[in-house]
């Protein structure tokens, strides 16, 4: 049988796969829900393309090995790492790399026990809950405390390493934290570095992005800034970004909570009836009393900068 009459090679339309898989929906959600983070979104799109190609190779019977999907998210607090992890869980589920697509978010306290024999059951219980989805370990470097001989974090680390290797077709682990501390953690525990293929850095938000985030956060709560309130918030952001313990969107959320508290007290102390517009508007008077404008820290630094 000549070439014209021969059997045609099977083909996969990657664009059609992209549309039918639902990946576009998740990436569009990421764009809508997270302001800025352009390099992060680019890396997520690149990862989605890799997985679509891997799935196409598998469907065509080509030699392939399931890619290592464990990840490291590095950056300062409040830069969207948990939100992106949630979207990544959905993306992996849509493409068939995890069975359930749920996210289990934990810290050291969820994994490490306080006495002999306590850590293994805690860690294994968390892993059991996370199977079929994504395990997100925030501030993962706190698992490792080499200066404390009685610390049980190393036991949790050994269990995690084993599961990350043996169950990588049913669990994706994302470790997150400050970049410098994560580097030291990986240097001290090279088993993690060898199992993590994707390292994504989350940049701090710009002042303009934080201003947009503040407007979006208020809208989601049914509030708006008036013109004076918007300008005051922009000034607040400029000052607060230069202070210690700044946690990006987390600090903005906390600042807006305090602004709503001031607004409630301002309205309550007035004598006149209030209407829906007054109840829904944050003004300059609700922002300017912040200690940031006199050189102090607004709210609780431990909460803002955790």
Question: What is the rounded average pLDDT for all residues in the chain?
Answer: 90
pLDDT score recorded for residue 306: 29
pLDDT at site 304: 52
Was domain 14-202 assigned CATH 3.30.930.10? no
User: Where are the chain's structural domains?
Assistant: 14-202, 207-304
Look at 14-23, 202-211, 259-268 and tell me which has the smallest mean pLDDT: 14-23
CA angle, corner 126, sides to 125 and 130, nearest 5? 120
Q: Give the whole-angstrom CA distance, residue 253 versus residue 241.
A: 14
Say if residues 154 and 54 touch (Cβ distance below 8 Å): no
Q: Above 60 in pLDDT, residue 303?
A: no
CATH 3.30.450.20 for domain 207-304, yes or no, is no
61 burial (CB, 10 Å; 0-12 / 13-18 / 19+) is: exposed
What pLDDT is stored for residue 4 in this prediction? 43
> Of the candidates 160, 61, 150, 76, which has an alpha carbon nearest to the alpha carbon of residue 113?
150
Q: What is the pLDDT of residue 301?
A: 52
More confident position, 229 or 113: 229
Of 21, 20, 173, which is closest to residue 96 (Cα–Cα)? 21
Asked whether the beta carbons of 245 and 78 are under 8 A apart, the reply is no
Strands 103-106 and 281-282: unpaired
Q: What is the reported pTM?
A: 0.86
DSSP the chain: --TTTSPPPP---HHHHHHHHTHHHHHHHHHHHS-S-HHHHHHHHHHHHHHHHHHHHHHTT----PPP--EEEEE-TTSSHHHHHHHHHHHHHHTTSSSS--EEEE-HHHH--SSTTSHHHHHHHHHHHHTTSEEEEETGGGG--TT-TT--HHHHHHHHHHHHHHTTTT-EEEEEE-HHHHHHHHHH-HHHHHH--EEEEEPPPPHHHHHHHHHHHHHHTT-EE-HHHHHHHHHHHHHHTTSTT--THHHHHHHHHHHHHHHHHHHHH-SS---HHHHTEE-HHHHTTSGGGGTS--S-HHHHT-
Is pLDDT larger for residue 259 or for residue 20? 259
Reported as a single tens digit per residue, the pLDDT across 35-75 is 999 999 999 999 999 899 988 888 888 877 778 899 999 99
At 201 the pLDDT is 97
| pLDDT at position 9 | 53
Per-residue pLDDT reduced to its tens digit, 68-112: 899 999 999 999 999 999 999 999 999 989 999 999 999 999 999
């Amino acid at each position: 049988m000549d070439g014209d009459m021969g059997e045609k090679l099977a083909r996969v339309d990657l664009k059609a796969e992209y549309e039918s898989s639902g990946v576009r929906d998740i990436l569009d959600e990421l764009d809508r829900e997270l302001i800025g983070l352009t390099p992060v979104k680019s890396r997520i799109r690149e990862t989605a393309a890799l997985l679509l190609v891997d799935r196409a190779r598998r469907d065509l019977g080509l030699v392939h090995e399931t890619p290592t999907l464990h990840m490291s998210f590095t950056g300062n607090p409040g830069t969207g790492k948990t939100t992106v992890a949630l979207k990544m869980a959905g993306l992996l589920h849509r493409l068939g790399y995890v069975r359930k697509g749920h996210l289990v978010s934990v810290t050291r306290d969820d994994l490490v026990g306080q006495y002999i024999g306590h850590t293994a059951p805690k860690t294994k219980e968390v892993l059991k809950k996370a199977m079929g989805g994504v395990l997100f370990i925030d501030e993962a470097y706190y698992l490792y405390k080499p200066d404390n001989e009685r610390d049980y974090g190393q036991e949790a680390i050994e269990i995690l390493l084993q599961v990350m290797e043996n169950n990588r077709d049913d669990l994706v682990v994302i470790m997150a934290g400050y970049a410098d501390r994560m580097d030291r953690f990986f240097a001290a525990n090279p088993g993690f570095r060898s199992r993590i293929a994707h390292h994504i850095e989350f940049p701090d938000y710009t002042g303009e992005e934080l201003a947009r985030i503040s407007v979006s956060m208020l809208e989601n709560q049914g509030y708006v800034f008036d013109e004076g309130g918007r300008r005051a918030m922009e000034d607040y952001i400029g000052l607060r970004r230069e202070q210690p313990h700044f946690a990006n969107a987390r600090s903005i959320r906390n600042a807006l909570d305090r602004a709503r508290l001031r607004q409630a007290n301002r309205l309550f102390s007035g004598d006149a009836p209030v209407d829906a517009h007054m109840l829904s508007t944050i003004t300059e008077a609700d922002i300017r009393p912040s200690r940031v404008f006199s050189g102090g820290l607004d709210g609780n630094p431990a909460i803002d900068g955790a």
